[in-house]
Chain A
Amino acid sequence: MQTSKDFAREIRNVTLKMVYNAKASHIGGAFSMADILSVLYHNVLKIDPTEPDNENRDRFLLSKGHACTSLYATLGLKGFFELKELDSYAANGSKFLAHTSHYIPGVEISAGSLGHALPIACGLAIAAQKKHKTWKTYCLLSDGELNEGSNWESILLAPQLKLNNLILIIDYNKIQSFGFVKDVIDIEPLSKKFEAFNWETYEINGHDHEELLATFKLCDNDGPKPKVIICNTIKGKGVSFMENKLLWHYKSPSEEEYNQAIGELNL
């Protein structure tokens, strides 16, 4: 039987192929969140690829829309659409834009400009709360994106409204557009910040599938607080020469790099 780790490997393979074919960017951030997506879509989210708009589904909102490739790969592998449709990624006329698009089955919102998904996620969580629905809202943010003030407006409000059905995930890969997070705007101590803002706070290894799954289970509680899972991750995780390198926020792999990456992913 396929494990979430097998699934993560497939996600990275499909992602790499998309980025390589389209000569696209942002593979580093797509890889850092691949294990999170894998555990979410393999084990956690209550979703049905044949009914992407089922009103009782869990909602997953990707805020770092530039890392859309691994989400598209995840959804394609899950059967939300034909996997081969991804061959058109970023090509003329394709609906698979290089940022998430809500016109793709399974994608809840379009994102591209940072700091937009969490307020929308709060709106969804409020709706579920008002309507006494049991589905949950998951929202995945990047670390650099925490520079955006709009996120902090939501981070202030969610505990006030007791949005315990909201699970925020931070892909803390320590790198943002222009360098290391700690050198641009150090967001440490991040866990303490969320605790001080009255969030139920977890800090884990975002590549450890057991820990991810266990933490998502812990978040399934009736306590009053919204949940945040700070996932310590590595940008470019899975391909040695991409790991922890700012360059792979921008660069597309050459043929040689592509072949080496394929080799490493499938060791």
Chain B
Amino acid sequence: MRTAFIKELIEEAKKNKNIFLIVADLGFSVVEPFIELFPDRFLNVGIAEQNMAGIASGLATEGYNVYIYSIGNFPTLRCMEQIRYDICYHNVNVKIIAVGGGYAYASLGASHHATEEIGMLRTIPNLTVCAPGDPEEMRAITKFTSAHNGPCYIRIGKAGEPEVHKKYDKSIAEVKSGDILNVINGTDIAVFSTGSMLDYSANFISNNSLKASLYSFPFIKPLNKNQFTDILKKYKRIITIEEHQLNGGFGSTILELINDLKETKTISSYPEIKRVGINNAFYSIAGTQDYLRKLAGIELQLNYFEL
């Protein structure tokens, strides 16, 4: 997804002279092609994320569409106040890119587990929060953010994720703000996946020949309410899955939205909801991303699919 991001950003930067990329001394073997093509629209500010976010705000005020890039919690939690105040309160055109969402850097330890940022970021007004699920979604989201005038956060997995939509003969050329993407069509039960849980979820449904649907949520905020309502009406049970703490994350977003739709009588009843994510814990054990996901309980169970 990392590669898909930089390739698409380069394509956009060829057309849009205002695209500017800042890194905080990370992006080795990723961002070099961008630097080569657009040396005047690239900056490495060193290992200083608060400064990076503030500088981005300043550059955006002067007309640039600024992408700031780092890994894990560094471009988010480390400079959360700059994101809230310098970027979102001033409502400037800054795109925050974090590579290594969830447990992508599993064995590097808790410092590198990006498992809380969505919950924090989605409370901030003006900010669009994105977590693309495969390289194709990544390209579409990059294209979306290059045209969108306002702050966005994009959580990227790592490198080498498989194309999921293609596997199911779907193609995603473009996304609009809040789009929800159908991947597998089934009945009664639907899995709502965000970010890099997409491939796992698709495989689980396919390998177990389940009759469930699968939707990918490249946007966590905002969501297209009409589309969401139409989807909701089709199912008896929803399973949300995310590589993030359950508290305040993607599943919480879904619960809140459903509650509000019920309260405003847009829906009269709603399906059962099972949330899969991290249950309020840190993990201090080495292992692969899959190993940590399993340890943290981020996995689907066959019984979730029995009505």
A interface residue numbers (CB < 8 A to B)? 102, 108-110, 112-113, 115-116, 118-128, 130-131, 149-150, 153-154, 156-157, 160-161
Contact = CB atoms under 8 A, between A and B. Distances in A.
B54 A116 contact: yes
Nearest to B66: A123
Contacts of A131: 62
Interface stretch (B42-50, B118-126, B140-148, B280-288): B42-50
Interface of B: 40-41, 43, 45-46, 48, 50-64, 81-82, 85-86, 89-90
Contact of A119 (B40, B53, B62, B90): B53
Contacts of B43: 126, 161
A174 to B, nearest CB: 26
B68 to A, nearest CB: 11
B54 A127 contact: no
Given A126-B55, A156-B46, A119 B82 contact: yes
Contacts of B46: 153, 156-157, 160
Contact of B86 (A116, A126, A156, A157): A116
Contacts of A153: 45-46, 48, 50-51
14 contacts: A113-B85, A115-B50, A116-B85, A119-B51, A119-B82, A120-B61, A126-B43, A126-B55, A127-B62, A130-B41, A153-B51, A154-B54, A156-B48, A157-B48
Contact of A110 (B45, B81, B89): B89
B57 A120 contact: yes
A106 to B, nearest CB: 15
B50 A119 contact: yes
A116 B83 CA distance: 11
A185 to B, nearest CB: 19
Which has the most chain B C-beta neighbours within 10 Å: A120, A121, A124, A149?
A: A120
A123 B62 contact: yes
A141 to B, nearest CB: 13
Nearest to B82: A116
Contacts of B56: 123
B59 A150 contact: no
A126 B58 contact: yes
The majority secondary structure among interface residues of chain B is helix
Nearest to B57: A120
A154 to B, nearest CB: 5
Contacts of A119: 50-55, 57-58, 82, 86
Contacts of B59: 123-124, 126-127
Contacts of B58: 119-127
Which has the most chain A C-beta neighbours within 10 Å: B46, B58, B60?
A: B58
A109 B48 CA distance: 21
A254 B203 CA distance: 73
Contacts of B50: 115, 119, 149-150, 153
Given A113-B81, A154-B51, A120 B86 contact: yes
A130 B48 contact: no
Q: Which 3 residue pairs across A and B have the least CB separation, nearest first?
A: A123-B58, A119-B54, A127-B62
Given A127-B64, A157-B45, A120 B55 contact: yes
A267 B290 CA distance: 76
B253 to A, nearest CB: 27
Which has the most chain B C-beta neighbours within 10 Å: A119, A123, A157?
A: A123
Contacts of B57: 119-120, 123
A130 B17 CA distance: 12
A184 B59 CA distance: 34
Nearest to A118: B54
Contacts of B52: 119
Contacts of A115: 50
B34 to A, nearest CB: 16
A221 B85 CA distance: 33
A154 B58 CA distance: 13
Given A119-B82, A150-B54, A150-B82, 7 more contacts: A110-B89, A116-B81, A119-B50, A120-B86, A122-B51, A127-B63, A130-B40
